[in-house]
Structure 1
């Protein structure tokens, strides 16, 4: 895809950083290798205690498209992403966590897909890698279209694959809920009437870190019910109804693949 230097096609990549020194340079490498070059990368250090900040300032010196900021207090990932979104200048808002990876053509394919079809919200299939970067599990394949009620039943949109057009639908921000801030954001966009369209091709790679909270979803059933009640104003019965779908799809996704 041919790129221009004006903001009409600018992609703002949003990345919160906390003690990410182990993986940050590999993540940066996947951004630098993007065939779509009209991007800015907004990284916010959330009071890391390792040398993440030193890596960020070094990256900024390497490429003028990189913008780095540092929180004065630890705000957690949701508020940190929101700060980055406020600083973003792009038409498109994309998300990439500090330990995840992108396929080199991820942005080229996804932005072309959005422009050619007039889509304002999209996501892609993605793979899994371990801490050493080795492929694990099978690719998580997405559906062609996802609505609000679809996402309540199946957590299909992953943060490292999502892109939305801020010029067309406005800037949407993360929930300040303790968990699942990105999931709440996707639900908010979908609930506004903007569906998300999926790209079947695997264009991103989620890093599965040992002992991470997201690797133990079977323990999060009660928290998921609370999340739906608090963020979607669901009754207990309605929250249980959608959580049952979430549990079944989650079981298939994480234990049978």
Structure 2
């Protein structure tokens, strides 16, 4: 079986997608496929993918007929995936060249179903490192509710242990919802303390609006996880406290 399927939703990232794909092409592990799902981009994103991936059959471009959002785009890629391991990399982020080699070895050695790693946050245009986000050694469902410590660009899960697990098709926080979904089935997700990815901080992203971002967390607690209001308030308090401490 093919080792890793890389899930890449794409929307108007023509300035960054070439660098993203090159970071995959440079991987020291070569048993992978990359499924790029273009969610009706209005720029040259799809054309750039074709240009950079020309001649490499491991990279597949799928174009959706309607703009449906990243959850549906990712789920379409998961549906098509043939690899044992499902990894996530958005169209503006990057991996270090040993990312797959190190993380798959980590998961095999410790018999892990879901893993994640440290990563750098970088500036949108210059690529300069802003800070390093450390991965806790492990996290369970209840602890993750307090704060999403799993960077989507670092996450990998094992379909041999879990089967294919799809993202809830919500507007935002779909990655957070997926990790919670998995952690209802396994006791822990485990972190590898090596910075193996770079997350591009884009000024236009929803996560840059902290108030609006926090409201999506509340909706996740109440509408997806179906927590009673008092439990949702408890975890929302933790989320707010940790966010303020992180960004002060």
Matched, 1:201 2:194: yes
Structure 2 counterpart of 1:126: 119
CA distance in 2, matches of 1:247, 1:67: 39
Aligned residue in 2 for 1:184: 177
Tell me the secondary structure at the aligned position of residue 34 of structure 2: strand
1:144 and 1:197 map into 2 onto residues whose CA distance is: 6
| Residue among 251, 254, 257 paired with 2:244 | 251
User: What TM-score, normalized by structure 1, do the two folds share?
Assistant: 0.93
Q: Deviations over 1:72-98 (max 9, x none)?
A: 111100000000000000000000000
CA RMSD of aligned residues (A): 1.3
Report the secondary structure of 1:94's partner residue. strand
Pairing 1:114–2:107 present = yes
Give runs of aligned pairs for residues 60-79 of structure 1, distance below 5 A: 60-79=53-72
User: Structure 1, unaligned stretches of length 5 or more?
Assistant: 1-5
- CA displacement at 1:181 relative to structure 2: 0.5
Secondary structure at the counterpart of residue 52 of structure 2: helix
Aligned with 2:207 (options 206, 211, 214): 214
* Matches of 2:226 and 2:169, distance apart in 1: 15
Q: CA deviation at 1:55?
A: 1.5
Q: 1:133 to 1:92 in 2, by over 3 A?
A: farther
Contact (CA 8 Å) 2:113, 2:186: kept in 1 or not? no
Match of 1:175 among 168, 172, 176: 168
Deviation, structure 1 residue 133: 4.0
Deviation at 1:194, TM superposition (A): 4.5
Deviations 1:33-61 (A, max 9, x none): 11111100000111111111111222342
Match status 1:87 vs 2:80: yes
Classify the secondary structure of the residue corresponding to 1:58: helix
Residue 25 (structure 1) aligned to one of 3, 12, 18: 18
Instruction: Look up the SS of the partner of 1:74 in the other structure.
Output: coil
Report the Cα distance in structure 1 between the residues aligned to 2:117 and 2:178, rounded to whole angstroms.
17
Match for residue 230 of structure 1 among 223, 238, 241: 223
For the Cα contact (< 8 Å) 1:120–1:194, is it kept in 2? no
Q: Would the alpha carbon gap of residues 133 and 199 (structure 1) be closer, same or farther in structure 2, given more than 3 Å must change? A: farther
Aligned partner of 1:16 in structure 2 is 9
2:146 alignment partner, one of 144, 149, 153: 153
Count of residue pairs the alignment pairs up:
248
C-alpha distance in 1 between matches for 2:215 and 2:85: 34
CA contact (8 A) 1:225 1:236 kept: no
Query: Does the 8 A contact of 1:59 with 1:66 survive in 2?
Result: no
Partner of 1:44: 37
Q: TM-score, normalised by structure 2?
A: 0.96
How far the C-alpha of 1:209 sits from its partner, in A, is 0.8
Uncovered stretches (5+) of structure 2, i.e. residues with no partner:
none
